[in-house]
Amino acid sequence: MAEKAIIKYLSGKNLKLTPQRKLILEVFLNQGGHVSSEELYDIVKARNPGIGQATVYRTLKLFSEAGIAEEVRFGDGVSRYERKDSQNHHDHIICEKCFRQVEFSDPTIEDLQEKQARKHGFDLISHRMVLYGVCSDCRE
């Protein structure tokens, strides 16, 4: 589970488990989709008003490094984070009108990405794929 993963990561690097990190982790895990640092900060602040915004930024980056969060960018200049389940990778479709987001995954595409990478001499590590379109509600 993610809490265990964090504790292990921290102790392996001489890093410390603080109340702030615990709280941010808990809030982050209970958050379904993709959260920006600021959104998370608002929620966290409601439960611990003393917490600083910089700490949220720092902690989300830490979660990324620890492998329990993944940074997602949709191109609006804001970084969002979502839970990283290696069993459950997915990509995104975004509606350009209402910004609704849908997650999907397509193993065939993943295979083809792997093949393309190999074909060009790369060892594939990760990828970002975002589709932009118009959703059924906005098509009118």
Partner DNA sequence: TAGAAAATGATAATCATTATCACCTCTGAC
Partner DNA sequence: GTCAGAGGTGATAATGATTATCATTTTCTA
| Residue whose CB is less far from a copy of itself, 17 or 130 | 130
Q: How far apart are CA 128 and CA 140, in angstroms?
A: 30
Q: How far apart are CA 13 and CA 66, in angstroms?
A: 10
Q: 139 in helix, strand or coil?
A: helix
Q: How far apart are CA 27 and CA 110, in angstroms?
A: 31
| Residue whose CB is less far from a copy of itself, 88 or 108 | 108
Interaction partner, residue 131 (DNA, a copy of itself, none; CB < 5-8 Å by kind):
a copy of itself
Provide, rounded to whole angstroms, the least separation between the CB of residue 9 and DNA. Answer: 10
From 21-29, 36-44, 53-61, 120-128, give the range in contact with a copy of itself by CB under 8 A.
120-128
Query: Is residue 104 involved in binding a copy of itself (CB under 8 A)?
Result: yes
Phi-psi region for residue 106, left (φ > 0), alpha (ψ -120 to 50) or beta? beta
| Residues 8-37 contacting a copy of itself, CB under 8 A | none
Nearest CA-CA partner of 31 in 10, 67, 53, 2 = 2
* Contact track, a copy of itself, 45-74, x by CB under 8 A: ----------------------------x-
Query: Is residue 109 involved in binding a copy of itself (CB under 8 A)?
Result: yes
Q: How far apart are CA 126 and CA 1, in angstroms?
A: 22
Q: How far apart are CA 40 and CA 90, in angstroms?
A: 22
Number of residues that bind a copy of itself (CB under 8 A): 33
Query: Is residue 92 involved in binding DNA (CB under 7 A)?
Result: no
Number of residues that bind DNA (CB under 7 A): 27
